[in-house]
Every structure is written in C-alpha cells, then in structure tokens.
C-alpha cells in the first residue's frame, strides 16, 4: 500500500513520473529489523558500566540516531569519556554477535534485485561503516550496493545529510534523479536537504507522523511498495 502525503494531483503526477538513476538506502529499520542486536549491545554496554539497562522493547528509539547521541541520552551525560567507553563496549558485543541478530525485512531481497537491475544502489547509514559492511555481508546483500557510506571509529560524519552529500559527490550522482529510502526523520531530512526524492517506510522504527512531518514525498508500507514507486 502506497500513501501519498497531501500532495496536489499535478505534483503527484510529476513525482510518480520522475526518472531515477540512483537510490540511497538506509540500513537499520529499512532493510533489516536491527533492534535485537542494537538493544542487546546497548544493554551489554550499560550493564558493564553498572548502569541499569532499559528492556529491549523500550529501546526502539535507538534504531536510527548516531550511537554517541544514543548514549548521551541513555547515560544522561555529555561527558565524552563516559560516552566513548559505552561506545567501545557496545561495539565489542555488536561486532562479535549483534550484527548477526538482524532480520531482513520481507521482500527486501526481491526489492533490491529489482532496483539493482535499473539503478545504482548506495547505502548511507550513521552506523559504523565496518558494522554496516558486516551486516550486508552476513545477509548476502553487499554485492547489490555500489558503495557503503557510514561513520568512522570517531563517529564522523555523524550527520545523515552530510553522509548523503558525500555519497552523491563521490559517485557523481545527480540529485534530481536520485531517491533516498529510510524509516526515520533523519533519512527524510537528509534527502530533502540534498534535493532528493524522499521515500519513508512505515514498517521500520519511525512513525508515519514523524516521516510526514520531516517532508517525505511518499510513505510505503512494504519493500514491494518501494520497488513499485521507483519502477512505476
């Protein structure tokens, strides 16, 4: 099911007939349900620091934002030493176990195969680049992507808009013929700030209200719907 967001009919037609050459994809909450691995690694880090950890189902908000931003909120501090210690503990578990605790969303493989025959596909994530590569490799998705753009060990660049800009420039893409797909407001803002067609997905960890408020051009309920929008 495709939901168009209060757009004039003439504008909808322009969008639906827009020609694309490339698509930028978010990872967590868009291609995979990554909460178990993220939440359990967060819990491990907090418990190792002697901090009571929230339940897994209470950590859905951690899917999407940069890791240091999450620990700043979880620890209730801006102390860089404490935050970096938590990040190191998180990565210790995530890089051994957590990345395998993803679940690929239904229809994702078919969507990527369909889009990969037509467009250049890139991954843009505030996740550590090495972690993103591990996830893609573990679930046999890496070969479908021309490039993977994430953060370094210092968490830079931490802004999704900047990551999208870097990916576009590095691969010589045209903003007017590039789309971005993601489940959180950061993905939509990254798209709009770079002049991209922004597709929100409702099956991830951001609400429809969140995606609409950020300015999503369309919101899709499934991976199949994403493929339909981009191939229409």
Helix and strand tally (H, E) in the chain?
10, 9
Among 26, 33, 187, 217, the one annotated catalytic: 26
Q: What is the DSSP letter of 146?
A: S
Find, among 91, 111, 112, 94, the residue nearest to 102 by Cα. 94
Q: What is the DSSP letter of 176?
A: G
26 is catalytic: yes
Which residues fall within 8 angstroms of residue 178, CB to CB, at 6 or more apart?
A: 20, 21, 22, 23, 24, 168, 196, 197
Q: What is the DSSP letter of 28?
A: B
Question: Which residue has 């209730």 as its token pair?
Answer: 76
Which residues fall within 8 angstroms of residue 93, CB to CB, at 6 or more apart?
A: 40, 41, 44, 45
CA distance 179 to 18: 10
Residues with catalytic annotation?
26
């Amino acid at each position: 099911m495709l939901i168009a967001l209060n757009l004039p009919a003439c504008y909808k037609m322009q969008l639906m007939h827009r020609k694309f050459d490339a698509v930028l994809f978010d990872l967590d909450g868009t291609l995979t349900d990554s909460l178990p691995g993220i939440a359990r690694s967060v819990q491990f880090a907090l418990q190792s620091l002697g901090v009571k950890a929230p339940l897994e189902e209470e950590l859905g908000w951690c899917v999407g934002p940069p890791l240091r931003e999450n620990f700043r909120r979880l620890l209730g501090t801006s102390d860089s030493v404490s935050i970096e210690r938590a990040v190191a503990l998180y990565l210790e578990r995530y890089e051994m176990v957590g990345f395998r605790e993803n679940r690929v969303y239904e229809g994702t493989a078919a969507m990527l195969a369909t889009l990969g025959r037509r467009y250049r596909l890139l991954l843009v994530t505030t996740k550590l680049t090495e972690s993103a590569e591990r996830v893609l490799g573990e679930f046999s998705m890496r070969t479908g992507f021309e490039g993977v753009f994430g953060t370094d060990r210092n968490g830079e660049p931490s802004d999704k808009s900047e990551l999208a800009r870097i990916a576009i420039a590095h691969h010589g893409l045209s903003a007017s013929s590039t789309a971005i797909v993601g489940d959180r407001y950061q993905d939509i803002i990254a798209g709009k700030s770079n002049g991209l067609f922004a597709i929100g997905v409702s099956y991830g960890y951001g609400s429809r209200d969140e995606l609409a408020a950020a300015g999503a051009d369309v919101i899709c309920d499934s991976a199949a719907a994403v493929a339909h929008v981009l191939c229409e």
